[in-house]
Structure 1
Amino acid sequence: MVGNDIVDLNEAQHASNWQRERFLNKIFTELEQRYIKDAINPFRMVWRLWSIKEASYKLYTQIYPSRFYNPMGFECTIENNSETARFGDFQCFVETMETSNYIISEARLNKQKLSSEIVKFKTTCQKEQSEELKTRLLNYVGSAYQLKKNEIEIPTLSNGKEQFNVSLTHHGSYGAFVID
């Protein structure tokens, strides 16, 4: 099982006011706010932590199917470039990659290298981006597979015999998919 999340840094720069104290207090724990305060680049740390939380949430909902909003419940720990996230008794390992354009995170139950396929969109229409991402995923795996979603919209790939967990993400000009 795997969860991923991508943040377009240009979009985040223009669309959010992350420096508001109320924003930070609603999303980030005291530990995470210390990471932000102590970071060389607090903006990038905010979105790194957000990406870790979102990827972890997607993994959690694959294991415990439900939909809820509780970013404070997922606490991120970063030690020696090793990242984990906890939600109650749940813990996962996260791998994050930062570029000048985006930050992407993948959450798994075991440590693994990041394997998301990144997509740079030509359009800003979210519906078109979503369709392009799904099309790129299906082209990647071949025509024998279908993308299905369960009752709470968690996607899987299936060819009738095998089923694979998949995570999709898009934000701003970037998207990504990963298969487990």
Structure 2
Amino acid sequence: MIGNDIIDLKISLGKNNWKRKGFLNKLFSEEEQDWILNSKAPELNIWLLWSMKESAYKAHQRRFELPRSYNPKAFRCEITEDKIASVSGKVSIDKNSYLTKASISKEYIYCIATLSNATLFQKIYFKPTDLKLQLINAVSKQQNLPKEKISIKKTSQFIPFLIFENQKLFCNFSMTHHGDFSAFIMELRN
């Protein structure tokens, strides 16, 4: 299972009063709050942890076909490797763990969450685009199927899946958008 999340930093940074009473406590564990508050870039790290939680939530929801219920404080983030433009970590949800990898630029944070080291294809768009069409084009090319016969539907839990000729197509994917940015990720067949 995979999930992804992108955050347009020009929309997020400086636009939220994250210092207001109760804000951090509502979203983050005490350990996460300590890490945020003791970091060199607390506001940026709020959005980093948020994107880790959001991408893991998408993978977890799809994995267990759960109804929508986002409780970020119940998801525990751990940073395992912190480089300037790339942060690896782990998000624990109940007894399940998801590996995360976040790319950080001056413009956005993009995070993916996976269960394993599957072969993945991802694409980030830096201006508004028809993300569903871009995903369908990529699946069509990767699986050698006519794109006109591929569509995206949602389950009763609002989890998107692909249809080919009225049959569910196995293709693990996730889509995200925020502000000017959008992205998709999908597992590649071996």
Name the CA distance, whole Å, in 2 between partners of 1:161 and 1:96: 30
Give the residue type in structure 2 aligned to 1:58.
K
Query: Percent identity of the aligned residues?
Result: 35
- Tell me: CA distance 1:154–1:161, structure 2 relative to 1, closer, same or farther (3 Å): closer
**1:146 equivalenced with 2:147 (yes/no):** no
Cα offset for 1:171? 0.8
Q: Does 1:85 align with 2:91?
A: yes
Correspondence 1:52 to 2:52: yes
Q: 1:18-57, CA deviations, whole angstroms, 9 ceiling, x for partnerless residues?
A: 2223111100111111111121111110100000000000
Q: C-alpha root-mean-square deviation of aligned residues, in Å? A: 1.9
TM-score of the aligned structures, taking structure 1 as reference length: 0.87
Q: How does 1:90-101 map to 2 (within 5 A)?
A: 90-101=96-107
Q: How does 1:109-124 map to 2 (within 5 A)?
A: 109-111=115-117, 115-122=121-128
CA 1:52–1:112 in 2, change beyond 3 Å: closer, same or farther? farther
Deviation (angstroms), 1:133:
1.3
Match of residue 126 from structure 1: none
* Higher share in strand: 2
Cα contact 2:57–2:70 (8 A) shared by 1 = no
Identify the match of residue 174 of structure 1 among 178, 181, 185: 181
Alignment of 1:108 with 2:109, yes or no, is no
- For residues 14-25 of structure 1, the aligned pairs below 5 Å read 14-25=14-25
Judge conservation of contact 2:120–2:186 (CA < 8 Å) in 1. Answer: no
User: What are the within-5 Å matches in structure 2 for residues 53-68 of structure 1?
Assistant: 53-66=53-66, 67-68=68-69
Q: Who is 1:6 aligned against? A: 6
After superposition, the Cα gap between the structure-2 partners of 1:157 and 1:34, relative to the gap in structure 1 and judged at 3 Å, is same
Question: Number of residues paired by the alignment?
Answer: 172
- Alpha-carbon shift at residue 14 of structure 1 (Å): 5.0
**Letter paired with 2:156:** E
- The amino acid that maps onto 2:150 is Y
Residues 35 and 179 (structure 1 numbering): CA distance in 2 closer, same or farther, change over 3 Å?
A: same
Q: Secondary structure at the match of 2:22?
A: helix
Any unmatched runs of 5+ in structure 2? 83-87, 141-146
Q: What TM-score comes out, normalization by structure 2 length?
A: 0.83
Q: Say which one has the larger Rg.
A: 2
